[in-house]
Amino acid sequence: MTIPIRPGRRGRDDRRFDLRATALFFLLLAVALCVLGFVVRTAAAAARHRPSWVVALVMLGVAVALLSRSRWRRWSAARGARRAARALEEAAEEAADSLGGGPAFFEGGRPAGPSVGTVHPAAPEVAVTVPVAAAPQDEEITEPLVVPGPLADYAELDPDGFEQAVAELCVRDDCRSVEVVGGAGDLGADVIAHTADGLRVVIQCKLYGEAHKVGSQDMQRFGGTCFTIHEADVAALVTTSDFTAPALEYAAECGIVCVDGRDLEAWRQGTGPSPWQLARAEP
C-alpha cells in the first residue's frame, strides 16, 4: 500500500514582514517622485520662458540618437565583414589542405607555401633548398627557403623581429595558420600556430641577453594565460638566453615547454626538435 507524502509547510520566517526594508523602500520612492516632479516643473518653466532652448535641446537629442544608430549599423556591418573574411579564410585553408598545398595562411591571410618564407629586414638570410611538394616524381624542383640567421644574430633584431623569426620557423616546419599576435594586450601569446596533426601551439618569445635569464615571474604570467585563455595544446616559452631554476620548476609543474638559446639554435639548424616535438618527448 502506498502512502501519499504531503508537502511540508513553509515556515513563518519566509513571510515575516520587514518593517525597516518597507520603510526604506517608500522613502526612496518618495525622494524619486520629488526629484521627478522638480525636473518636470523646471522643464515646464524653461519651455514657457525660453522655448527656443527647448527646441534646440530636442533637436540635439534627436541628432545624437540618429548618430548613435548610424554608428551601431556601421559597427554591425564591420563585424559582419570580419566574420565573412574569417569564413573565406577558413574555406580557402580547407581547399588548400584538400589539394595538398600545406599551410594556407600566414599572418592574417597572406599566402605562405611550405617552401617559401619571409624574413625581417634586419635578419641575416641563410638559403636552404628543399623539394617542392608538387614536383613530378622524375624531376626535383628546388626553391630557396629563407630562415633566420645564427643565434648570435638574433641580438640585432627587435622584439617584433624576433617574434617574426620564430613564426617563420613554425611555417618552415609545416605549421598551419601561423599568426604573430604579440603586442599590447596579447595576454602572453606572441605566436599562435597549428601543427600538421592539429595541435594548437602558443609561444611566448623573450629576446634576452645572455646575462638576463627568464625568471619565475615571467613563467607564471605566461602559465596563467596560455592554457586557460589561449587554449593551448602545447605552450612554449622561447628565449635567446636561459631559464632560472625556479622558472624551470614551475614550467615542469604546469607542462610548459622551455626552449633556451641552445635549443633555439638547434631548432633553427634543423638538428634539434621543435617545441611541439619536445612536448611529445617529455613524460
Cα gap 116→132, rounded to integer Å: 10
Q: Say if residue 172 is in the same domain as residue 230.
A: yes
CATH number at residue 210: 3.40.1350.10
Task: Select, from the ranges 66-75, 142-151, 263-272, the one with the highest average predicted confidence (pLDDT).
Answer: 263-272
The larger pLDDT score, comparing residue 57 to residue 5, is at 57
Q: Say if residue 89 is in the same domain as residue 116.
A: no
pLDDT score recorded for residue 129 = 38
**How many structural domains is the chain composed of?**
2
pLDDT score recorded for residue 244 = 95
pLDDT score recorded for residue 233 = 95
Is 194 contained in some domain?
yes
Is 9 contained in some domain?
no
Q: Say if residue 93 is in the same domain as residue 127.
A: no
Q: Looking up cell 628565449, which residue turns up?
A: 239
Is 224 contained in some domain?
yes
* Strand order, beta sheet including 176-180: 176-180, 191-194, 200-206, 234-239, 257-259
Q: Give the tens place of pLDDT for each residue, 160-172.
A: 999 999 999 999 9
Range of the structural domain that residue 53 is part of: 48-99
Residue 100 has pLDDT above 80, yes or no: no
Cα gap 54→178, rounded to integer Å: 58
pLDDT score recorded for residue 92 = 59
Q: Say if residue 176 is in the same domain as residue 67.
A: no
Q: Say if residue 153 is in the same domain as residue 260.
A: yes
Q: Give the tens place of pLDDT for each residue, 51-89.
A: 777 777 778 878 877 776 666 555 565 566 666 666 666
Cα gap 50→43, rounded to integer Å: 10
Is 155 contained in some domain?
yes
Q: Say if residue 198 is in the same domain as residue 244.
A: yes
Q: What is the pTM of this model?
A: 0.48
Residue 128 has pLDDT above 50, yes or no: no
**Average pLDDT of span 43-57:** 75
Q: Say if residue 152 is in the same domain as residue 196.
A: yes
- Min mean pLDDT across 121-125, 153-157, 179-183, 265-269 is at 121-125
Q: Which of 38, 72, 99 is the last residue of a domain?
A: 99
Identify residue 15 by its one-letter amino acid code: R
Is 176 contained in some domain?
yes
Is 257 contained in some domain?
yes
Q: Say if residue 270 is in the same domain as residue 148.
A: yes
Q: Say if residue 180 is in the same domain as residue 87.
A: no
**Average pLDDT of span 190-219:** 93
